[in-house]
Amino acid sequence: MSVTYTIDPCEKVKVKESYEWIDFQYNCRTQADYLNKRLMLMMNAIEEKIAYKTAAESILLQGNWASDVTTTGDVYRAGVWKSGGYDINARWMPDMKMATMQTGYCSPILVAGAMDFYKAAQVMNSGCCTSAGVDLASILANFGEAYEWDPYVTTAFGNNQYSLVTQLGALQLLTYTAGTAPNFEGFINMGGTNFELHPLTTMRYGIPVDLLLKNDCGTLTMTMTTSTKVVAPPLDMFPTSDPLSGVNYVNYAEAYTLS
C-alpha cells in the first residue's frame, strides 16, 4: 500500500466583491454590521462552490465492490421498488447491507445521491408490513444506513438514480490556505499599504479560507479564497488475489424498479 496526497495551492475556489466608499457613506447600517453580513454571504457562496467541487471529485475516486458482490460494471444495482413503482421491495436494504459487509465496510455508511434510495428509506420508516408479512420498519431499524438525497452528487453523476456509497472516514477533504500555513505566518501578520490578509473559517462547515482586503483609491475589494481537494484510501490496500482487491470504500449504487 502506497500513496502520496498532494494539493495545488494555485488551484483556488474564489468569491469576490467590490464596493465604493459611497456605499458605506449612505448605508443605513453600521459599517461593521454591513461588512459582517457581506462576509456571511461570501462564506455561503464559497461553501456552495466547494460542495459542487467536492461532489465532482468524490465520484472520480470510485473503488471496487468486493469480487463476490454482483454488480453491473462495478455499479451495485438495488431494486427498491416492485413493478409499477408503488410497492417497496422489502429485500433491497438487507441485500445492500450484505453487499457492504462483503466489501468490508466497518464504519457508519452513507448512501448519498439518488432520490429513490431516500424515498424508499422514508417509506420503510413509516411502513408497516408487505403482503408477505414483512415488517418494513423493523428492516430499517436493523439494516438502515444513512440514505440521503444529495443534489450535488446527482448533478456530478448526471443521473438521478445513482448514489455514492462510502463509510465514515473514507473520504477526506484536504484544504490549504496561506493564513494557516506556518511558513506564511510572518506575511499574514503584517498589512501592506493598501491590503490585509486575514485567515478565517466558514460558519457552517468550518472550512479555512483566506480573506484579502484591498483598497484601490476608495474601492474596497474583498476576495475570499481556499484550496480544497477530496482524497480517498489507495486502491492497493488488499492483494490482487483478495476478494477486496481494489476496494477503497467509495462505491456506486443505482436504484431501479424491478420488472
* Same-domain status, 192 and 222: yes
User: For residue 98, what are the contacts with CB-CB under 8 A and spacing of at least 6?
Assistant: none
The band of 191, judged by pLDDT with boundaries at 50, 70 and 90, is low
pLDDT at 98: 95
pLDDT at 253: 98
Whether 2 is in a domain gets the answer no
The band of 112, judged by pLDDT with boundaries at 50, 70 and 90, is very high
pLDDT at 22: 77
Whether 98 is in a domain gets the answer yes
Burial label for 5, CB within 10 Å (0-12, 13-18, 19+), is exposed
pLDDT of residue 40 exceeding 70: yes
Q: What is the mean pLDDT of residues 218-230?
A: 93
Q: What is the mean pLDDT of residues 88-99?
A: 90
What total of structural domains would you count in the chain? 2
pLDDT at 10: 93
Distance from C-alpha of 94 to C-alpha of 247, rounded to nearest angstrom: 21
- Contact between residue 162 and residue 154 where contact means Cβ atoms under 8 Å apart: yes
* Same-domain status, 205 and 155: no
* Same-domain status, 31 and 82: no
* Same-domain status, 155 and 221: no
Q: What is the mean pLDDT of residues 232-244?
A: 95
Whether 6 is in a domain gets the answer no
SS (H, E, C) 5-52: CCCCCCCCEEEEEEEEHHHHHCCCCCHHHHHHHHHHHHHHHHHHHHHH
The dihedral formed by the CA atoms of 130, 131, 132 and 137, expressed in degrees to the nearest 10:
10
* Same-domain status, 79 and 150: yes
Across all residues in the chain, what is the average pLDDT?
87
pLDDT at 35: 84
pLDDT at 197: 86
Whether 7 is in a domain gets the answer no
pLDDT at 24: 73
**Structure confidence by residue, pLDDT tens digits, 1-14:** 568 899 999 999 99
Q: What is the mean pLDDT of residues 89-105?
A: 93
pLDDT at 152: 95
Closest CA to 209 of 192, 188, 236: 188
Whether 182 is in a domain gets the answer yes
**Residue ranges making up the domain that contains 112:** 66-169+238-257
pLDDT at 83: 84
pLDDT over 70, % of the chain: 86
Whether 222 is in a domain gets the answer yes
Kindly report the pTM of this predicted structure: 0.85
* Same-domain status, 110 and 218: no
* Same-domain status, 81 and 150: yes
* Same-domain status, 179 and 225: yes
pLDDT at 182: 67
* Same-domain status, 52 and 144: no
* Same-domain status, 114 and 224: no
Burial label for 121, CB within 10 Å (0-12, 13-18, 19+), is buried
- We report the CATH number of the domain holding residue 125 as 3.30.2320
The band of 143, judged by pLDDT with boundaries at 50, 70 and 90, is low
* Same-domain status, 147 and 248: yes
pLDDT at 30: 81
